[in-house]
Every structure is written in C-alpha cells, then in structure tokens.
Amino acid sequence: LAKTTQPISMDSYEGQEVNITCSHNNIATNDYITWYQQFPSQGPRFIIQGYKTKVTNEVASLFIPADRKSSTLSLPRVSLSDTAVYYCLVGVPTGRRALTFGSGTRLQVQP
Amino acid sequence: DVKVTQSSRYLVKRTGEKVFLECVQDMDHENMFWYRQDPGLGLRLIYFSYDVKMKEKGDIPEGYSVSREKKERFSLILESASTNQTSMYLCAILGLTGTEAFFGQGTRLTVV
C-alpha cells in the first residue's frame, strides 16, 4: 500500500495558481492517483484521477512524472471558495483500500 | 445527479442505545463504505461492502456492525453507543471502474 506525503497546509491569494505536491515513493504498477477536496462538515468530493503524464479537467490539472513517485495537483486562479482540505490517494481504485485517506493539505485562500 | 443520502444530518443518542445510520444510493454501485472522521485523525474506514450481504472489516470495526440486504442500502449499526463514538460518519459509494467516489453529506452523531 503506497503511503502518501503532502504538506500539512498551504496559503495562497485569490487569482493565483496553486500547486499541491504529493509524494508516493512506493507506488505500485497498478496504482492510480486520485485527488479529493473536502469542505468543513461535508464529505470529500472527487477532483481528478490519473495514472501517468498529465490529466486535465474543468477544475484542475494533475501532473505525474515518468517515475510516478510524486504527483502535483494544480488549481488555476484559485478563489476563496477553494479553501478546503485536499487529499491525495494512491492505490488500486477498487476494493476495501480504494479510498484510503491520509492527512491531506489544508489550503487557505486569502482575498 | 448522483445521490448518496444519509438518513440524518445530526443525531443525539444516549450511551448504551442501539443506533442505526442509514445510507442509500441511487447509482447501482457495488462498493459502499462507512467512515468516521475525527479532528486530527482523518477519515478512518469502519466497514466496506462490495455486494449485497458481503462485507469486510475496515480499520476500526470494534463496536460497529453493518447490514447490506439490498444493493442500494448500507446500514451502520452501533450496537451499544458509547461517548467515544461521537463523531462525523460518512458513507461513500464507488463503482466498478473505481474512478470517482461519491460521499453522503455526513451524519454528526453525538453520544451523551
């Protein structure tokens, strides 16, 4: 089971691009990388998932280098509403361990 | 729009009571999960179900049981509620493709 390491917290200002890096040195061949966002008193919400290279959707981009030992979630032009906890999950996306959450990164966006 | 509905948003129960937390989904997903979330401890898996009547213990199953008699409903049971089970409980569903999990709104349970 690949363990993940993320910064505990980050600060940013509105309009800036935010990059949150997740370290997963022991990632296995079949593991995917998935990011979730959680607001206070709500359940986590899926942001993006990738296996290698770059994935982009309407919300974020996910950059995965060739060795897959880390990944970076990129949030373009953040707003106050992006203040949340962001979780990086690494693993086979099925079964009991599909949703193993670490401590996450608390992003605070200032005006 | 995907719906994962937890029966209560807030619940207050007395020590020793038997408590039922219900989770209902409308996505026909096979995998369903129950977590509890506590400050500083993150989301911890209590139980997982991959099909009707099938279940697996998670990391902290003690004091809990589950029931999945129908595919769309996954119930978490606190056999005899204790104050250390005061927490936010979250239900999640995941399809076979494993791409995107959906969570319920959470039940904040207080045991007094």
**3-state DSSP assignment of residue A80:** helix
| Chain B residues with CB-CB distance to A41 below 8 A | 88, 106, 108
Q: What is the pLDDT of residues A43-77, one digit of tens each?
A: 999 999 999 999 999 999 999 999 999 999 999 99
Cβ contact, residue pair A100, B94, below 8 Å: no
Is residue A29 scored above 70 in pLDDT? yes
Is residue A1 scored above 60 in pLDDT? no
The encoded tokens of residue A65 equal 């280098």
Q: What is the pLDDT of residues B21-55, one digit of tens each?
A: 999 999 888 999 999 999 888 899 999 999 999 99
Rounded Cα gap, residues B31 and B92, in angstroms = 8
Q: What is the pLDDT of residues A76-104, one digit of tens each?
A: 999 999 999 999 999 888 888 888 898 89
Structure confidence at residue B40 (pLDDT): 83
> Mutate which of B90, B100, B102 to test chain A, going by most A C-beta atoms within 10 A?
B100
Please give the angle made by the CA atoms of A99, A88 and A23, to the nearest 5 degrees. Answer: 125
Residue type, A111: P
Please give the angle made by the CA atoms of B14, B18 and B19, to the nearest 5 degrees. Answer: 85
